[in-house]
Amino acid sequence: MGFYEKYLLPKLLNAAMKSPGMSYLRKKQIPLASGKVLEIGIGSGLNIPLYQKDVQVTGVDPSEELQTYARALAADADIDVEFIAKGAEDIPVADDTFDSAVVTWSLCTIPDPMRALSEIRRVLKPEGRLLFVEHGEAPEPEVVKWQKRIDPIWSVIAGGCHLNRKPDQMIVDAGFRFDEIERRYIEGPKIATFNYRGIARLI
Ligand SMILES: C[S@@+](CC[C@H](N)C(=O)[O-])C[C@H]1O[C@@H](n2cnc3c(N)ncnc32)[C@H](O)[C@@H]1O
């Protein structure tokens, strides 16, 4: 891992993920999690202060650099947070463990998001809910054209994030159905700000 990935990128990501539009969506979504919660791609832990106080959170993320920020937030929060420092494509947890799974702006980055979703499916209880907020492919063909053009450079600068994945389609393909789905832009450049927020259950 180079200097940029180890020292600069974690700082940049932690700052960039605090935009007003993102913070609004986090505040709307995270308090809906209940019981035993799996957070995929917990990153710098910006969701941690927003959980209800009676949840137990397991955060899965391979970035030990971002985990340093998340541990500091967890120490201040009045909830149990356990960290698993590895990729979500292989979660070392028994089947049917969690009441809620949370993923915010990480299906864009996880190298094999379909495998991670299949793991979420496996470890979620049959009545469990997947709460997600993701960015992805925009609705206008002109914006999609620019997303495709810029994605190869963007993914290098943004730690593997892709601009043009389709989180709603991926979630359905992984065997979930939506209780709620909202698609809209938040502030910022159109190529990176078309957001998908929703709640999904296992079919
Ligand atoms: C844009 S950040 C979002 C962080 C956090 N979810 C948030 O809302 O601020 C993307 C996250 O995906 C994580 N990530 C990358 N590869 C992953 C993998 N294989 N499994 C789980 N998380 C991964 C990164 O380390 C990073 O924390």
Q: Please count the structural domains in the chain.
A: 1
Reference 69, options 49, 40, 90; nearest CA is 49
Reference 61, options 2, 97, 14, 121; nearest CA is 14
Q: 159 C-alpha vs ligand 1 centroid, how far in Å?
A: 9
Structural domain of residue 107, as residue ranges? 3-202
pLDDT at 147: 98
If one residue of 19, 37, 61, 186 were mutated to test the ligand 1 pocket, choosing by the most ligand atoms within 8 A of its CB, it would be: 61
Reference 102, options 163, 43, 187; nearest CA is 43
User: Hey, whose CA ends up nearest to atom 18 of ligand 1?
Assistant: 87
Q: What is the C-alpha separation between 200 and 179, in angstroms, rounded?
A: 5
- What pairing do the DSSP bridges indicate for beta strands 80-84 and 56-60? parallel
| List of the chain residues with pLDDT < 70 | none
How do residues 146-167 score in pLDDT, each as one tens digit? 999 999 999 999 999 999 999 9
pLDDT at 3: 86
In contact, 69 and 45? CB cutoff 8 Å: yes
Reference 124, options 40, 53, 29; nearest CA is 40
Helix, strand, or coil (residue 74): helix
Atom of ligand 1 nearest to the CA of 66: 27
pLDDT at 188: 97
pLDDT at 182: 98
pLDDT at 1: 79
